[in-house]
Structure 1
């Protein structure tokens, strides 16, 4: 089911004239297992993160909360594309499945912040991405997306038919966590890499807010009205 879904998504983006720009794909292994760890600013990020691996001809199997798999529309699609269901109260089974997929040569996609970042900066990341990469003996490829929050993000109405929105996707240089590495230190390194990629995309983004009311999609440190990381953490709690 995966290839037809990819074609449908590309057709939708073409109709809406979403200006997609993908770079850094030379960092995604053409064969063998790998973990793609992406930032999270939109409910649509898994689509664009997956598209980021298309130039490398890889299909990304995403880890997603089981509630999505229970949805009568999204559920059959998620299962058909062989994504991995995650029960947050008992995650060992999904973790083990992800490691098995990685050892089998698949690419597994993870959003290590766990939830959407309201501040549009990279939140503290969970250690699962680097731990599963170390267990499977595969690299971690950091990735960042930007612009997707303008279509659908937490606390804002959906604007899925908004036209001409630039979407930037960038893969960074991979690194390979070792079995003896401190997973917390490696996760902090992953966060720095993801934030550096995101900083670059934000600096290069070809549009600015059209009005003062439109500044909601920019982070506070760039003059936007998105919550600061501290304010976002308070909202999440």
Structure 2
């Protein structure tokens, strides 16, 4: 125990959780506030290509959104941004559904790449400096692929792409991993799609509902952080 922890300071894992949660809150607030401000002058952040190729383009626009969203998520772009643009382009319900499909496609791409290409690299990392931390998380995923993945997806901390790659390298079954990912993606996808819809139509109630749902999803994630072994491993690592 360090001197700061002995003096009653929050443990390092708790401080890390608070910082990660703060970044997520700032992301949500920034998307909403920036969109509302720029909407007043006829634009919204990052929406030019959506206005040109996606909105009001029928099935072509949906296909463009799905493809671009999957590639962006697979490359590490924030999945919350994909959901925001889905809500902006298609409305809350349809936008959340299409964003979820795009996110799941990106998840499958990075998971599959890691499974086919990255296994040898993973073994080297597991034997190296960060091996102990990665092994604990890999073991939690291997022991409970669906439950551990769901817990980690709902947490307000962690990295979407890193989890995709670790799961692929660990060789866990694809079906429970993808199913749990889809379910775990849903709360924040709905929240950010509502934000995108609210920005486009100046809908204060959508933004308020998104804020409430966001608070609920964070509360669930924090509870899981303490209760599930995968969450405790992530916090400790």
Normalising by structure 2, what TM-score?
A: 0.30
Greater strand share, structure number: 1
Q: Which has the larger Rg?
A: 2
Greater helix share, structure number: 2
